[in-house]
Structure 1
Amino acid sequence: MPSVSGMVAAAPTPPEAALAPAHTDWLRHTLAVTGPTAVVERFQAAAAGAGVVPWLLDLDRMEEDWFLALAAPPEGERAISLAGARILARRLRDAAHANHQRALARLDTDRRCPFDLQRLLPVPPAILRLGPEDPASRAWLWAHWGTTRALRHVRALPAELDGRRRRMAELRVEFWSADWSPWQALRRLRRDWPDLTLDLRPHYGDAAAAASDTAIAHPLRTPSRQPGPPATRPTKRPRTRHG
């Protein structure tokens, strides 16, 4: 499996070129962070968070999107009455709001996510106010993280560092990213933590088990706008589609 630990990423593409396919594919990665024990421990403390991006959600728009998807499905045949579609859309809105509030309540105390990009490279408040679906938000994530959505299913893995390497430590994590490896984030972290080696390995064969829990936060999400592809595509995997 190829490693991108030594990758020198191409210059960032213009924000309008952020790649946001209508159907998100999720790519599994493992990341090994190695270096002097004290530095790894500092990085581990800095990276640990709740794994939550505190977006300001436009609940009215989300409810309307869900209603339209139910009332006028792409297949052309509605399976629910208009009144039923309105009721279900409101229930989805309430569920999304409750789920988001629970997530926000964990921000200041939860440190169970071992590699939280919002802690390491936080989204600015002005971008957070736009919400996760705004083109400017997607462009910011692409330019600074190298992907267009927050990482999912982040978990710590057992260290594999050779025990003979004294005074050295390793942090290993697994996560899923949307469509692309978080190459911009890795480039920035390598610059900010020069004493550490960050070895990122994408696992291209795991797309069938993609972490597609989009329905939790955005059930029946309508397709997002798809800008043109960038001039260069770092850490790209073969495109596959999964329902």
Structure 2
Amino acid sequence: MPASQERAPVHTDWLRNTLTVSGPVEAMASFREAAAGSGVIPWRYDLERMQEDWFLGLAAPPDGERAISLQGARILAWRLRDAVAVNQQRAMARMATDRRCPFDLHRLLPIPPLILELGPDEPEAQAWLRAHWGTTRGLRHVRELPAAGDRRRRRMGEMRVEFWSADWSPWQALLRLRHASPSLTFDLVPDYASAGDA
């Protein structure tokens, strides 16, 4: 199967990672500014298809025992679609100003508009993410951790972040970031022991 047709694993395993970025204070300040974002990826969602999929799943469940009427399935699918649309609108509205995510891969290595138009589940989008980020979904639960570096090294800065990634660490992204910022050191430590706890 060509790489562009490969799909992400059916069941996503979320892997906890700790990333330490260190380097000269000025370079670290620039990196922090570039990396901080909303954590939102502006995917285009096919709301009609999502609504239809939800309706079919509710109307004809795999086990054959429907727990809701057809009218109820239609209403619930419609409400789910509306909830996704509202949630996405709110997320998009805060993209321009929200900088609470300290390590936003879409800010650092943006997904091209043509790929965003496909949606997150299309094989071509998955292939792009795998090739450029090394993982097939956006990072989750990104948070900054206290710095653990030697504070006597006054000319050096450090940032530690923890995040969860889908199925693999974002190793492709780190290769690109190392190439783009040779004065910085990127040290990634995946926590395989907690992969099943996500």
TM-score by length of 1: 0.79
- Tell me if the contact between 1:113 and 1:154 (Cα under 8 Å) persists in the aligned partners: yes
The residue type paired with residue 150 of structure 2 is D
- Tell me if the contact between 1:15 and 1:140 (Cα under 8 Å) persists in the aligned partners: no
Counterpart pick for 2:90 among 102, 113, 120: 102
Identity %: 68
- Tell me if the contact between 1:49 and 1:115 (Cα under 8 Å) persists in the aligned partners: yes
Secondary structure, aligned partner of 1:129: helix
Q: Give every structure 1 segment of 4 or more consecutive aligned residues whose post-TM-superposition deviation is greater than 4 Å.
A: none
Q: CA separation in 2, counterparts of 1:170 and 1:18?
A: 37
Secondary structure, aligned partner of 1:132: coil
Q: Which residue of 1 aligns with 2:32?
A: 44
Q: CA separation in 2, counterparts of 1:132 and 1:29?
A: 22
Counterpart pick for 2:61 among 52, 73, 76: 73
CA distance 1:192–1:18, shift in 2 (3 Å): farther
- Give the CA deviation at 1:15: 3.0
Counterpart pick for 1:179 among 142, 167, 179: 167
The Cα offsets for residues 46-66 of structure 1, whole Å up to 9 and x where unpaired, read as: 000000000111000010111
Alignment of 1:35-184 (within 5 A): 35-184=23-172
Q: CA separation in 2, counterparts of 1:185 and 1:111?
A: 20
Secondary structure, aligned partner of 1:185: helix
CA distance 1:27–1:17, shift in 2 (3 Å): farther
The residue type paired with residue 203 of structure 1 is D
Structure 2 residue runs of 5 or longer lacking an equivalent are: none
Q: CA separation in 1, counterparts of 2:108 and 2:176?
A: 10
Q: Which has more helix, going by share of residues?
A: 2
- Give the CA deviation at 1:165: 1.6
Q: Which residue of 2 aligns with 1:218?
A: none
- Give the CA deviation at 1:181: 0.5
- Tell me if the contact between 2:14 and 2:164 (Cα under 8 Å) persists in the aligned partners: yes
Q: How many residues are treated as equivalent by the alignment?
A: 197
Q: CA RMSD in A?
A: 1.2
Deviates further, 70-79 or 189-198: 70-79
